[in-house]
């Protein structure tokens, strides 16, 4: 029997940068990348066995989360008070809502640059504010980018470890974009849809969907997580 499986897919944007680099360019190069990922997901309906897999997407942006009135503005990116240290009744409605979005996700996609060859603090703080029980037994896909030739791959290696420890197991396929401004328009549309580097994402999503559907099914069967 054919059915449609709509995955709750959360995208974490890893950068809160709001200043252009000395050599020029975007204030936040990741905006191009996250818009490309969102567009790819919104137009995707893949086949997995007899089922069709789609995505209901939510983006978590550290600029919003830590900004005035944001869900974690009370704690700040320095994580003065992780949510799992505080009684639920003390959390604001927006904080609980963000936690519930993360907990209800079936899979995660992390779109991140590389700061000092490792994880940007905005990313590790947003994800680290919430305990591993919210992430466990779900898969994650990692998309990194850099203005240079290495596409943020050193950060990707560190993000893999962080995801393992949180319990959202990263799929093996990575997507790395060197020079996103050369590949994507400011709104995220590919300059050349057939560019070989852009073919990384569909392969990552194939793995992510396979794992997400399998893990979702098992969570629903066992009721454990």
Over residues 149-167, the pLDDT tens digits come to: 999 999 999 999 999 999 9
The phi and psi torsions of 70 (rounded to 5 degrees) equal: -75, 165
Flag whether the pTM goes above 0.75.
yes
**Which pLDDT score, from 0 to 100, does residue 222 have?**
86
Average pLDDT (183-205) is 97
Helix, strand and coil content of the chain, in percent to the nearest 5, comes to 40, 20, 35
- Give 224's pLDDT tier (boundaries 50, 70, 90): low
- Using the CB atoms, write b or e for 28-43: b if 16+ within 10 Å: bbbbbbbbbbbbbbee
**Which pLDDT score, from 0 to 100, does residue 2 have?**
77
Architecture of the structural domain at 3-222: 3-Layer(aba) Sandwich (3.40)
Q: For all residues of the chain together, what is the average pLDDT?
A: 95
**Which pLDDT score, from 0 to 100, does residue 225 have?**
58
Q: 141 pairs with which residues across the strands?
A: 109
CA distance 33 to 186: 9
Rounded to the nearest angstrom, the gap between the alpha carbon of residue 46 and the centroid of all alpha carbons in its chain is 20
Write out pLDDT tens, residues 86-113.
Answer: 898 999 999 999 999 999 999 999 999 9
């Amino acid at each position: 029997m054919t059915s449609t499986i709509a995955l709750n897919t959360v995208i974490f944007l890893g950068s809160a940068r709001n200043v252009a680099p000395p050599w020029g360019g975007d204030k936040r190069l990741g905006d191009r990348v996250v818009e490309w990922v969102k567009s790819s997901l919104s137009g995707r309906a893949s086949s997995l066995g007899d089922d069709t897999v789609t995505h209901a997407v939510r983006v978590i942006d550290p600029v919003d989360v830590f900004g005035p009135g944001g869900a974690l503005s009370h704690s700040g990116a320095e994580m003065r008070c992780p949510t799992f240290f505080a009684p639920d009744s003390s959390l604001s409605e927006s904080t609980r809502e963000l936690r519930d979005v993360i907990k209800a996700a079936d899979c995660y996609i992390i779109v991140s640059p590389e700061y000092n060859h490792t994880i940007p603090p905005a990313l590790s703080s947003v994800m680290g504010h919430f305990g591993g029980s919210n992430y466990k037994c779900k898969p994650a896909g990692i998309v990194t980018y850099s203005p240079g030739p290495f596409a943020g791959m050193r950060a990707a290696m560190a993000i893999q470890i962080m995801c393992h420890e949180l319990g959202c197991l990263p799929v093996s396929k990575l997507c790395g974009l060197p020079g996103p401004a050369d590949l994507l328009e400011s709104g995220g549309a590919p300059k050349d849809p057939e560019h070989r580097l852009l073919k990384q994402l569909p392969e990552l999503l194939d793995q992510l969907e396979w794992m997400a559907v399998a893990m979702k099914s098992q969570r629903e069967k066992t009721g454990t997580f």
